[in-house]
Structure formats: structure tokens, C-alpha cells
A and B are shown apart, each in its own frame.
Chain A
Amino acid sequence: MKIVVIGLNHKTAPVNIREMLAFAGPKLEEGVSCLRGMPEVREVALLSTCNRVEIYACVGNTAAAVENIKSFLASFHRIDRAAFEKSLFVHTDSQAVRHLFRVASSLDSMVVGEPQILGQIKNTFDFALEKKTTGVLLNKLMKKAISTAKRVRTETKIAENAVSISFAAVELARKIFTDLGGKSFMLLGAGEMAELAARHLVNSGVRDVVVVNRTYDRGCDLAREFNGKPVRFEDFPAELVHCDILICSTGAPAYVLLKEQMHKVMRERKHRPVFIIDISVPRNIDPDINRIENVYLYDVDNLQDVVESNILERRREAEKAEIIIAEEVETFIKWMSSLDSIPVIVALRQKAEEIKEEELEKFRNKFPDLDDGKRKAVEYLAAAIINKLIHPPTAALKEDTEDRGELIAAIKKLYGLNGEENEE
């Protein structure tokens, strides 16, 4: 039996193709049951997200199965096969295992290290379990993918360090204050990015929120949204004395906060540290303010630099993750090949037991008036002999060696074990 993955993702296909092949909502269930109904497909799981559509399957004959799955995709989505065929990738065996482990560990994601994909894989797995479309092989594969992803997460720093501007702001705030609980925060102006960063800060536990806006009414609206207090624009420098974090995003054409003003603020707040984020373009806060001690001023470009250096950091960590994945793929492949020998071992033991029972039966018929003690002794002897005889071949089959395939064939032939179905 072979594991095969066939699919496409954001690296191989543009969004207009991905959306054509997506299995959204009820289509997922329908698609999975169609796939499971194919004669070549023994087990199947279907992963469909906005970035990827991937079909994992256990198949007998790979070429036939791949061919049928491709035709199925075309007919199911009612599109021309030529439209997407070039975007498809097909991996088998260890390559397929490696692919899933990389996807689960978020190495294959658009933003390396993002956490959502693992949840999506868990959902795929749960769905397959619920619909009973998977078996021993894919269940183990999915479980291994999840545990590998967890291992990557704890042993590397792939998911650490913010890779978006608004999270980078929170990360920096934590390097200034550690605990954001009990800190107070001022939002000066408005704007999508500023409000997003503000929301992250509030979620991280910032307690007091002050909202300042040139139009007082707009400020009141925003304040209500953040559960904060509105302050008139003229009063903001006085209010700043009590704020530890300031996010500024106004449309003003010139600086709204000057160095002298900030000096005064710092004296009044006894030089407690302040973190200022100036998202506005043109900048609204005199860049020289960064020179004042205990003031940390970041503009949009500074935050972007932080994000980029964090992305580089994640790429370095991804290299460590590849090593972990290679290890896990190897153990999985070993486990998979050990599966081949299990039916043979079972058949061998069964055969031996049959022979034993047959001979014992003959023996009992020949000597019907033997007492219980003696008969037990003979049964014991027979069991000991078959155990001793089948032990070496069983041990050899269990051992992980290169020539296991040949051994399996030889043992089948030698002992006449033809009852087993041949997988290939």
C-alpha cells in the first residue's frame, strides 16, 4: 500500500485556480465520500483551506489512483482538466509524508510559523475520523503530523517573534514593560493600522485607554469601542503624563508633539518609560524625541524593520525544523514498512497452531485412555516445539533490515502461506 498526496497550494497555483478546486462547506463531505468510493482508494483525507487543496490517500496502484483523482477533480468541479492539471503536484511515500509534516509544521505556509494550519489539519483529521474515511495508515500519519508540528513548535522558535506590524508593536511593548496589565495607553487619531494595534494592546491586558481625536465626537465613538475615555485634542499633552504607551496616527501635516513638550512630560512623569508608535505619514511626532532618555519612539519604517528581521529569524529556525521533520519522516517510514511483515507473522503462527492442533487430535484418538496429567504434558511439549521453531523466522521478520521484502516473500513460499492478499 502506498501513501500519495495530490493537490495544489499557493506556491503552485494562483488564487483563481485554487478557488475553482476548493471544497467549501457541503462540497467537502460530498468530495470525501466520492473519493472513498473509488476502487483504488483505501483511505482518504481531504485538506481544503484558502491556500491549499490537498488529497491524502492510501492506494494500491498509484498511477491509476492519481489518474482517477485528477478526473474526479475535473468532473466534480465541472472544469476542464487542462485548466488546473499543470498546477497539481503529486508526492508518494516518504515525499508525501514529508510534505504533510512540513505543511502541519507551517513550513509550507505563506507566513512561515503561522499557527492556523495545524488547527485546519486537526479539523481535516477529525472530519475523516467522523466519516470513517481513514484507516490505520492515514490515522497514524495524521497523528504523527500533529505531534511533529508540536515538536517543531517547542524545539524551534519558528512561531516566536511577531511578523505583523501590529503584533511587533505589542512585542516591543513587552520588552519595555514586561507585563502590559495595569499600563495605560493613548490612541491619538484614528486609522485602520492604529486601531488594529490598539486592539492587540487591549487584548494583551492594557488597562486604561484614552482616545484623542480632532473631532471630539469621533473620539467619543472610538472611546466607546475600546471602553476608554475620550479626551479633547488640546488636552492630550497633559494627559500623556499618565500614559505609558502612545499610538499616534493623525492626518496632521506637521508634528503634533515636539521635543520640548515631551521633555516636560517626562519630568512630570518622573522619567517612567514611554513607548510611542508613530504610524502617521507624514510623521506626527518629532523624531528627535527618541533621543530623550526612557522614551522609545518607533515609526512605521522602524516597525517594518522589526518585522523583517523577525521573518529572517523564522527562516533560520525553519532550517532546524527541517531536520526534525527529516527524523520524524524516517521513523514513520520505518513503522510503515514494519506493517508489511505483521500479516506474515500472524499467518505463520496460525499455520503452526493449526498443525499442532491437528497432530494433537490424531494423538488423542490413538491413545484415548491416557490420564489427564500425561495428556497435558504432551500438549505442553507440542506447544514448546512450535514456539521454538517459529521464533527465529518471527524475530527475523520483526527486525528492520534492507532485505525484509525478500524475507517476507521467502517465508510465504517456504511455509506455503498463500492465504494473505497481496497488496501490490
Chain B
Amino acid sequence: MGTILFELSLTFYFAATVISIVDLFKGSRESSRLMLFITGGGFLIHTASLIYRYSISGHLPIASMHEASSFFAWCVVLIFFLLEFRYKTGIMGSFVLPVVFLLMLSSSILPRGIRPLNPVLESYWFGIHTFLAFLGNAAFAVAFGIGIMYLLQEHYLKSKHVHGLFHRLPSIQVLDEINNKMINLGFPLLTCAIITGALWAESAWGSYWRWDPKEVWSMITWFIYAFILHIRLTSGWRGKKAAILSVIGFLVVLFTFFGVNLSVKSLHSFK
């Protein structure tokens, strides 16, 4: 049952991603609407599969890499829908859904068994810490997609080649605004995740900070986004610089998530 729901949502996201990419090259109102419908369907099924897993295991389904990737993707779709509802860009899906699909794909090739939580970690902090961390990461994922859209549109405007996607991409001001909003959303979430993580670590392992690789990389991520927010506030740096940094920031997030969890020995790896 859980597997069927998961596979089904993966299929939906795959279909939506394919449509969104075709839409980039041969866009029409119908295809972007179809993409939204399919993504919506995938999202509902995905939600059902998460609830199902929660009902079986009794904790938020973020206890294995499989569950974490899937939950990460779910958060991204959630934010995507909220933004698309507000801004109606029609084209944002083409830049965000591929990320969702890749997260789901990586989730699908990882071991799927439902495992009991390590007793050391069993605490109400688990839910709060991981939920905040993933929601924050999801905001950064959207900022990444928006950042790429910004860089493309900026390129069209600067090079004066107004064709292709130029007419369909939103204005750079709107893209900059969404990018800023996403970082303003993600940054406090990440900050809270780090603080709750420290408190949890204190109660589980006896110290707030252990220089664990995940902790270090999260700190690096935090500094990158703090820098983006700082320069915007002080010198008004915006637009291209913010877009490039949000792309880099998300690559660091991905490394922190996949690289550290899968390769480096860490207290945060799902082992």
C-alpha cells in the first residue's frame, strides 16, 4: 500500500516534470495548466503515502534517507503551490519540478524499509528539528529554481536577445522578490532547526555542538544565506548576486543532505 502510493506519486511527478520541460520549449496555457493538475494529483497521493507511513511508524516519516528525500520533495511541492497560487507565473514549474522529481527519484532507489527510531533520538525534538530543517531546505530549493529563472531573464535583458523564454518568464523584479521571500522564509527556519538541533543534541548526547560534518556544513549553509540577507539590507545588493548565491547555497544544501549523509561518517547519517 505504502509502496503503491509512493510509486504512484513518483509517476505523477515524473509526468509533470516531462510536461514542464516540454512546456519550456513549446509552451501553451493548456500544457502549464495540465502540469499543475498532474502535480496536484501527485501531491495528494504523496501526502497520503506520508500519512500512511506516519500511521505505521508512529513518528514523522523522516527516519531514513528514503523517507527524508521524499519528505524534502513534499515540502518543495507545498511551497511551489503556494507561490504559483500567488504569482501565477505558469512557468515556475519547469524550474522547480525537476528538483522535486530528482529528490523523489533518489528516494526511490534508497532502501525503503520502515525502521524503528534509534532510542537515543526518540524525543519530541526529532519532529520539530527535522521538520524545520526540511521546510527551510525546501524554501532554498525554490529559491534555487527562481534564481536560475532570474539569471536567464537577466541574460535576455542584458544581451538584448528577446526571444524564446523572454516573453514567458516573469519580470526580474518579481523574480528577485520571490527569491528574497524564499530566503527570508528559509533562513529563520534553518536557524531554528540549528538551535533546536543543538538543544536536542544536548539532551541526547550531552553537548550542544560536536563538530559533526553535518553540523559544520549546515553552519556553512547558514553563513551563505546570512550573507545574502546581510548584503541586501546593508548595501542593497540584489538581483544577479542574490540569484547566484542562492544557486550556490542550494548546491551546498544538497551536498549537506546527500553528500554528508551518504558518504561521511556522521551522527546525522541515517545508519
Nearest CB to that of A309 among chain B residues? B163
4 tightest A-B contacts by CB?
A270-B236, A178-B171, A271-B236, A302-B160
CB-CB under 8 A from A243, the residues of chain B are: none
Cβ–Cβ contact A290 & B236, under 8 A: no
Q: CA–CA, A247 to B37, complex, Å?
A: 43
Kindly list chain A residues whose C-beta atoms are within 8 Å of the C-beta of B239: 271, 273, 293-294
For A269, what are the chain B residues with a Cβ–Cβ distance below 8 Å? 236
Report how far A178 CA is from B153 CA in the complex, Å: 13
The answer on a CB contact under 8 Å between A270 and B157 is no
Residues of A within 8 A of B237 (CB): 271
> What total of chain A residues lie within 8 Å of the partner, measured CB to CB?
26
Contact present for A306 and B160 (CB under 8 Å): yes
Q: Is the CB of B157 within 8 A of A172?
A: yes
Once the chains are docked, how many angstroms separate the CA of A192 from the CA of B237?
37
CB of A175 within 8 A of CB of B172, answer yes
Interface string of A255-297 (1 = CB under 8 A from B): 0000000000001011111000000000000000010011010
Cβ–Cβ < 8 Å partners of B238 in chain A: 271-272, 294
Interchain Cβ contacts under 8 Å between A and B, 11 examples: A157-B167, A175-B166, A176-B172, A177-B171, A270-B236, A272-B238, A294-B240, A296-B158, A298-B160, A306-B160, A313-B167
Q: Which of B149-183 contact A (CB under 8 A)?
A: 153, 156-158, 160-163, 166-167, 169-174
Asked if B172 contacts A172 (CB within 8 A), the reply is no
Not counting A175-B156, A294-B240, A305-B160, a sample of 13 additional A-B residue pairs whose C-beta atoms are within 8 angstroms of each other reads: A172-B162, A175-B162, A175-B166, A175-B171, A177-B173, A267-B235, A271-B236, A273-B172, A290-B158, A293-B239, A293-B241, A294-B238, A313-B163
Q: With A305-B160, A309-B162 as given contacts, are A175 and B236 in contact (CB-CB < 8 Å)?
A: no
User: Is A160 part of the binding interface, using a Cβ–Cβ cutoff of 8 Å?
Assistant: yes
What B residues does A298 contact at CB under 8 A?
A: 160
A175 and B153 in contact, given A271-B237, A294-B238 (Cβ under 8 angstroms): yes
A298–B161 Cα distance when bound, in Å, is 11
A175 to B162, CA, bound (A): 10
| Interchain CA distance A302-B160 in the complex, whole Å | 7
Cβ of B169: which chain A residues have Cβ within 8 Å of it? 175
A3 to chain B, nearest CB (A): 33
A11 on the interface (CB 8 Å rule)?
Answer: no
B160 touches A273 (CB 8 A): no
- The total number of A-B Cβ pairs within 8 Å is 58
Task: Provide the residues of chain A in CB contact with B157, threshold 8 Å.
Answer: 172, 175-176, 296
B173 touches A178 (CB 8 A): yes
- Cα-based distance from A127 to B89 in the complex (angstroms): 42
- Please give the number of chain B residues whose Cβ is less than 8 angstroms from any Cβ of chain A in the complex: 23
Q: Which of A160, A174, A294 contacts B171 (CB 8 A)?
A: A174
Task: Name the one of B156, B173, B240 contacting A293, with C-beta atoms under 8 angstroms.
Answer: B240
When C-beta atoms are compared, the residue in chain B nearest to A269 turns out to be: B236
Chain B, range 94-129, C-beta contacts under 8 Å to A: none
Chain A contacts of B161 at CB under 8 A?
Answer: 309
Set of chain A residues within 8 Å of B162, measured between Cβ atoms: 172, 175, 306, 309-310
In Å, the complex CA distance between A160 and B168 comes to 11
A306 to B159, CA, bound (A): 11
Return chain A residues, CB-CB under 8 Å to B158.
290, 296
Query: What is the CA–CA distance of A304 and B172 in the complex, to the nearest angstrom?
Result: 22
Is A161 at the interface (CB under 8 A from chain B)? yes
The complex places the Cα of A322 from the Cα of B153 at a distance, in Å, of 31
A290 to B162, CA, bound (A): 16
Q: Complex Cα distance A391/B169, Å?
A: 59
Q: Is the CB of B170 within 8 A of A178?
A: yes
Chain A residues within an 8 Å CB radius of B172: 175-176, 273
> Min CB distance, B32 to chain A, in Å?
14
**Chain B residues, Cβ within 8 Å of A302:** 160
Residues of B within 8 A of A177 (CB): 171, 173
Minimal Cβ-Cβ distance residue in B for A302: B160
Question: Interface centre among A160, A161, A178, A290, by most B CB within 10 Å?
Answer: A178
Residue in chain B with minimal CB distance to A313: B163
* Complex Cα–Cα for A412 and B41 (A): 59
A161 CB to nearest B CB, Å? 6
Return chain A residues, CB-CB under 8 Å to B174. 178
Residues 285-329 of chain A, each 1 if its beta carbon lies under 8 Å from chain B, else 0: 000001001101010001001100110010000000000000000
Bound-state Cα–Cα, A128 to B89, Å: 44
Q: Which B residues touch A306, using CB under 8 A?
A: 160, 162
Quick one: CB contact mask for B8-38 with A, threshold 8 Å, 1 for yes? 0000000000000000000000000000000
Give a binary string over B217-240; 1 marks a CB under 8 Å from any A CB, 0 the rest. Answer: 000000000000000000111111
Pick the contact of B173: A160, A161, A273, A309 (CB < 8 A): A273
Q: Mark A97-127, 1 if CB is under 8 A from B, else 0.
A: 0000000000000000000000000000000
Give Cα A305 to B156, complex, Å. Answer: 13
B46 to chain A, nearest CB (A): 32
Q: Which residues of A contact B163 (CB under 8 A)?
A: 309, 313
Q: How far is the CA of A270 from the CA of B167 in the complex (A)?
A: 27
| CB closest residue in chain B, given A272 | B236
Interface 0/1 of A153-165, CB less than 8 Å to B = 0000100110000
